[in-house]
Amino acid sequence: MSEHDHDHTPITNGNEPAAAVRARALEELLVEKGVLPAEEIRAGVDWLVSRTPADGARLVARAWIDPEFKQRLLADARSAALELGLDPGPSPVVVALENTETVHHMVVCTLCSCYPRALLGPPPAWYKSLPYRSRAVSDPRGVLAEFGLDLGEDVELRVVDSTADIRYLVIPSRPPGTDRLSEEQLAALITRDSMIGVAQPATPALA
């Protein structure tokens, strides 16, 4: 059975994918029927496009420089986000998972694509793909190798499968040689992929 998962829409006829026509048709119908006001749909679109990993990076950068904030982040990431004026999103619980020298977390949603979108923006296509969803739990080191990450054998690898309403965010390890960096400079090192757990943050020499 072919398991090729393509995340771009196949072109059917005309210049526009059938799905695009269908989505707009659904929008029209829902607005006409008074089910959803057009402004609310617009606001939803605006919110989605406003979401980027910069918010997650701010949480992590603050945790790196402020140990007490880090404890609050670990205890209740949703509240910690609100403390920084960030929108943690509709999920009732967000849990931050701390990576250390000896423990590395990696997040997946094998059943669909659950992801902390409010703090990281839309999930990358690969996160939603069938092979990632299959292999992240059974062959995580193989997956990490594809991402160019080789954890030492001594590192305990924990793969977290988001199956319920909890959204998981990884706090990557702070790279060495970053003591002199400002919070803003630190945030610039913290990539989306490092907060999913398939990469380490950038290092100052590479940033």
Partner 1 sequence: MERGVHDRGGLPTDERIDRSEHTLEDWEVLTDALAGALARRGLVSVDELRRGIESIPPGDYERASYYERWLSSLETILTEKGVLAAGELDRRAAG
Partner 2 sequence: MRYRVGDPVIVAARAHRGHHRTPSYIRGKTGRIERVHAAFRNPETRAYGDDGLPKMPLYLVSFARSDLWPNGRADEGHRVYVDVFEHWLEEAK
Interacting residues toward partner 2 by CB under 8 A: 92-93, 95, 110-111, 137-141, 153, 156-166
Q: Which residues are catalytic?
A: 109, 112-114
Amino acid at site 111: L
Least separation, in Å, of the C-beta of 121 and partner 2?
A: 23
Do 138 and 148 contact (CB within 8 A), yes or no? no
CA–CA distance, 88 with 141 (Å, rounded to integer) = 30
Nearer to partner 2, 49 or 75 (CB): 75
When asked if residue 54 is in the footprint of partner 1 (CB under 8 A), the reply is no
Residue 36 within binding range of partner 1, rule CB under 8 A: yes
By CB under 8 A, is residue 35 in contact with partner 1?
yes
Q: Which residue in the set 60, 107, 118, 143 belongs to the binding site for partner 1 (CB under 8 A)?
A: 143
By beta-carbon proximity to partner 1, the closer residue of 17 and 204 is 17
Would you count residue 4 as binding partner 1 (CB under 8 A)?
A: yes
Quick one: what does residue 157 bind among partner 2, partner 1, none, with the CB cut-off 5 to 8 Å set by partner type?
partner 2
Task: Say which entry of partner 1, partner 2, none residue 83 contacts (CB below 5 to 8 A, set by partner kind).
Answer: none
From the list partner 2, partner 1, none, partner contacted by residue 166 (C-beta under 5 to 8 A by kind): partner 2
Would you call 14 exposed, middle or buried from its count of C-beta atoms within 10 A (0-12, 13-18, 19+)?
A: exposed
d(CA 202, CA 105) in angstroms, rounded, equals 17
Q: How many CA atoms lie within 13 A of 1 on its CB side?
A: 3
Q: What CA–CA distance (Å, rounded) separates 82 from 62?
A: 13
Q: What is the DSSP string of 56-96?
A: HHHHHHHHHH-HHHHHHHHH-HHHHHHHTT----S-SEEEE
Separation in Å, CA 191 to CA 16, 22, 51: 33, 34, 14
| Residue among 81 and 136 whose Cβ is closer to partner 2 | 136
The residues that touch partner 1, with contacts defined as CB under 8 A, are 1-10, 17-30, 33, 35-36, 40-41, 44-45, 47-49, 90, 108, 110-113, 122, 124-126, 128-138, 143, 146-147, 161
